[in-house]
Amino acid sequence: MPDDFKLTIAVLTDTHIRAPQGDLTSPFKVNERANARARYAVEVVKANTPEFTVHLGDMVHPLPHLPAFGAACAEAHRIFAPLMPKLHYVPGNHDIGDKPGPASPAGPVTDNNCTAYEAAFGPPWKSFENCGVRFIVINSSLVNTGGDAEQRQRDWLEKTLSEAEGQRVFLFSHYPLFIDQPDEEEHYDNYAEPGRSWLLGLAVDHGVEAIFSGHVHQFFFNRYRGVKLYCLQPTSFTRQDYAELYRGAPANEFGRDDVDKYGVTFVDIFADGHRLRIAPTHGREIAPGECPQIQKLHQPATPIIPHMRHAWFEASTLPYNGPMEEFGRKRARNDYPLLRLWQLGIRTIRTPLRDLTDPVSRRRVLDFAAAGIQFSFFTLGLPDAASRELLAEHSDLVAGLEVVGRDRTFSDLQDGLSELIEQWRKPLSISKSTSSADETHESGAFAHNVSTGFLWKERDEVVAAASNLATPTMQLGLSFQVNLDEDPGQRIPVLAECLSQSNLRLVAVIRLADRNPANSNFDDDKIAAQLVAALDAARGRANVEIQSDTFEDIDRGYSPRHGLLDRRSNLRPISNWIVDNAMCCNRG
C-alpha cells in the first residue's frame, strides 16, 4: 500500500429499532427512543462520508419469532435508507436469535430465524473487499450450536481466510469473544468454548488485524496475540448491569440511559495500521422527515497530559443479577477512559512507574500503548535497577520519566541522578514532593497535605540547582505546580522564560484541587478557565508541557474536585469544549 493510503469506514451497532406503531417487546421506557436515535446516528454517518458502513447487529429489537419483527425490519430499512447501498449488516441476537445457552433470556438461533433474517437483511455471513482490504462478517449466534449451519460457516470462514493470505483482514461479529480475559468463564456477553478458542486461533493464524463487536452496549478494548478486539458503543441504550462499573450514581433508568455513552465509530485504515475516531450522539433524536445540519467530526490533538489518579486498569466483578447473569459472575473493566483519551486527542498520560512494574497493570499499559497511548511515568526517588530494565525494555511506550524528590535543591537525589541524566535517552523531569511543611501557617492552622511540583516561590533556587545538572544532550524538565489561586497566563510565561535561559523545560502541573484538602472544587467554569489559560500560555513554547491534575473526578476523600471526566467516565464541560472546538486545540 502507498504511504498515504487511507480508507475510512463507519461502524454503528445496537440500534434496536422497533415497529413504528410501537410494540410490547421491552418494558423499558428508553427503548421507545431507539428509532429517533437511530435516525440521528444515520445522519452523523452521512455527514462524515465514509467509504461504507457496517452495522454490528441488533438492527431491530423484536426477536424473529415475535409478530412485530417484520414491521421493525421494514422500519429499519426506512431509517437506514440514506446509507444504502454501502451498508453491511451483521446478525445480532435480536435479529437472528441468541447463542446457545441454558440461561439465555431469549429464544436461540434456529433455521427458521436464519431464513427470516436472510429475507430481511441478506446473508448472515459474507466477505467483501475494498481497496485491497478484506472485510468479513460472521453469524456469531451460530458458534457452538453444533448444527449443519455452524459447520458450513466454519468451513467457509477457514477457506475465506486462507484465500485472503497476504491481505489485511478486519472481522465483524455481534458477540465479543471475551470482555476481560481470553480464558474467562462463559457468560451472556462472550463466546463459549470451544468456539472462542477456535475463532481466536484462526484470527491469530491468519493475521486478522482487528475484530469489531457490539452486543454489550459498552466500550471495551482487548488484544489477543496481536489481534485487536473492539466492543463498540450503541446508539439506543446502555445496559444497566454494567452501571456497576462506575463509582458515580447510575444514569437514568438505573443506568439504562447513559446518554453520553452513545456514539458512532469511524475507523481510519492507514498503510501502517488503523485508528478509531468516536462521534458521540448523546442520545439525540430526529423525527421522521427532519433534516438537521450535523457538523463533520474533527479530531482534536490536545497537548494535555492528565494525571491518572484512579486505577484505570482494574477489572470489577459484577453482581449476579438476572436477566443476564442470574447464575454466575462476570468480570469487566471500565475502558471508557481509553475511549475518552481518543475522543479528546490526548496521546500521553501520567501514571506511577508501579503501573509498569506490576504484572497485572502492565498488561493494560501494553494494551493502551498498542492503542496509541504513551506513558509519562513518575517515581518517588530514583528508579531501581529492575525498574530501569523494564523502562528500557518498553522504551517505545515511554514518553518520559519524572523523578520526585523531597528537596528543592535535589540533595536527596544526588546519588545516581547525574548518572541517570547521562544515560537516559527519553525526556526526564525532576519534581518535588511538596507538603504542608513547605507552607507558612501564620494563623496556627495546619492542614496535612502533599502535592506534586515545585512552588512558585522556589523557582530561583530550583533553577539554579538544575542548571548545574544540565547537559547539551538532555533538556531537563522541572515540574512546577500552578494552583487555583494562581493565573496560568501569568505564571507559565515567566517560568518558561526563566527555564529556557538554562536550557530547561517547564512541566506545568495545573492543579484543579484547592490548596486545603478539606475544600472541594466543583467549579467547572474555573477549571475550564485554568486549563484554557494554560493551553494559551503554552502555545508556541517548545519547552512547555501542560499536565492536568486530575483526569477523572475525585468526589470523595481528600481534595474533592472535578477533572476532565466525571465518575461515570463521561466528559466534563471543559472536555466537551475541547471536542466541540477541536481545531482550537491543535497545537501542531
Residue type for position 369: A
Strand 315-318 relative to strand 330-333, pairing? antiparallel
Of 120, 242, 250, nearest in space to 176 by CA: 242
Q: Cis check for the bond before 323: say yes or no (omega within 30 of 0).
A: yes
Contact predicate 355/394, CB 8 Å: no
E strand or H helix at 76, and its extent? helix 69-80
Q: What is the pLDDT of residues 346-396, one digit of tens each?
A: 999 999 999 999 999 999 999 999 999 999 999 999 999 999 999 999 999
Q: What is the pLDDT of residues 278-328, one digit of tens each?
A: 999 999 999 998 888 898 998 899 999 999 999 999 999 999 998 888 999
Altogether, the residues listed in the chain come to a count of 588
24: exposed, middle or buried (Cβ count in 10 Å: 0-12, 13-18, 19+): exposed
- What's the rounded Cα separation, in Å, for the pair 460 and 420? 24
pLDDT range class, residue 27, cuts 50, 70, 90: confident
pLDDT value, residue 106: 77
E strand or H helix at 464, and its extent? helix 459-467
Sequence-distant (≥ 6) Cβ neighbours of residue 345 within 8 angstroms: 299, 300, 301, 302, 578, 582, 585
- What's the rounded Cα separation, in Å, for the pair 59 and 216? 14
Residue type for position 451: S
Q: What are phi and psi of 241, to 5 degrees?
A: -65, -30
Sequence-distant (≥ 6) Cβ neighbours of residue 250 within 8 angstroms: 240, 243, 258
Contact predicate 82/39, CB 8 Å: no
Q: What is the pLDDT of residues 424-463, one digit of tens each?
A: 989 999 999 998 777 665 555 666 788 999 999 999 999 9
Q: What is the pTM of this model?
A: 0.95
Here the cell at position 138 is 460472521
Contact predicate 572/522, CB 8 Å: no
pLDDT range class, residue 587, cuts 50, 70, 90: very low
Q: What is the pLDDT of residues 136-180, one digit of tens each?
A: 999 999 999 999 999 999 999 999 999 999 999 999 999 999 999
